[in-house]
Amino acid sequence: DAGITQSPRHKVTETGTPVTLRCHQTENHRYMYWYRQDPGHGLRLIHYSYGVKDTDKGEVSDGYSVSRSKTEDFLLTLESATSSQTSVYFCAISDWGGAGWEQYFGPGTRLTVT
Amino acid sequence: GESVGLHLPTLSVQEGDNSIINCAYSNSASDYFIWYKQESGKGPQFIIDIRSNMDKRQGQRVTVLLNKTVKHLSLQIAATQPGDSAVYFCAENGQGAQKLVFGQGTRLTINP
């Protein structure tokens, strides 16, 4: 998984509770991303980061916030989890590969909100 | 909005045959494309990429073809093996160089 770890790998939480997912990379790549993957929707971008403390929204950012205080770590926070946020969350990192900005994915976090 | 889609949601092939997975894209501004493989319970795995100034690129047992005229991308897998069973996604960068838009995926099943 290209030097990317995600934690936790599985989590069950109750509606209304805060949840933080962590992505850690050892590749020193500049760009980091959070996606969610749901049946019928494929992979959708939540937020991404283009450097330490530099983040921007993706297409499904409502209800999520992110932070990046170090190059290697990108945190995704659900301030108050809802059942619609039950999903598999993937972190990705990106760097220039010669032909384009190659993205590599972590193993994923399965989140269930009850 | 712009989207990336797939012609077929499922594909079954005999072991040893060649597989062809297709993808249509609609954003003519896209100039970089990636194919990913995703096995059950795992994250998407980078297979091969191609830039719009090329129409063909080969890797190990895989070939990507790009037809910009009809906005069509295909992934060819030679001598398909049981380990090739997975969902395959195409992705394109039409929303910005560092952002990808993904198709829904095609599930490839290998018959013995």
CB contact under 8 A, A105 and B31: no
**C-alpha neighbours within 13 Å on the C-beta side of residue B65:** 11
Min mean pLDDT across A25-34, A97-106, B36-45 is at A97-106
How many CB pairs below 8 Å do chains A and B form together? 58
Q: pLDDT of B65-100, one tens digit each?
A: 999 999 999 999 999 999 999 999 999 998 777 889
CA distance A45 to B30: 17
- Whether the CB of B45 is below 8 Å from some CB of chain A: the reply is yes
Tokens linked to A58: 């993706």
Q: What is the pLDDT of residue A2?
A: 64
Q: Does the pLDDT value for residue B42 go beyond 90?
A: yes
Pick the CATH number of B4-96+103-111 from 2.60.40.10, 3.40.50.2300, 2.40.30.10, 3.30.530.20: 2.60.40.10
- Tell which of B38, B53, B102, B104 to mutate to test the A interface (max A CBs under 10 Å): B102
Whether residue B103 lies within 8 A of chain A, CB to CB, comes out as yes
User: Which tokens is B3 given?
Assistant: 């989207």
Binning pLDDT at 50, 70 and 90, where does residue B63 land? very high
| In the predicted structure, residue A47 carries a pLDDT above the cut 60 | yes
| Residue B54 pLDDT level (bands cut at 50, 70, 90) | very high
Pairing mode, if any, of strands B10-14 and B106-111? parallel
| Residue range A80-98, pLDDT digits in tens | 999 999 999 999 999 888 8
Which structural domain, as residue segments, surrounds residue A88? 4-107
| DSSP assigned state of A96 | E
* Dihedral sign from CA coordinates of A52, A23, A14, A40: positive
Which CATH number do you get for residue A83? Answer: 2.60.40.10
> By the CB < 8 Å criterion, does B99 face chain A?
yes
Higher pLDDT, B104 or B85: B85
Question: At B3, is the pLDDT very low, low, confident or very high (cuts 50, 70, 90)?
Answer: very low
Both tokens of B72, joined, read 């069509």
List, as ranges, residues 55-84 from A with C-beta within 8 Å of B: 58
Rounded to 5 degrees, what are φ and ψ at B69?
Answer: -60, -45
Chain A residues in contact with B91 (beta carbon < 8 A) = 103
Which residue in A72, A68, A73, A65 sits closest to A47, CA to CA? A65
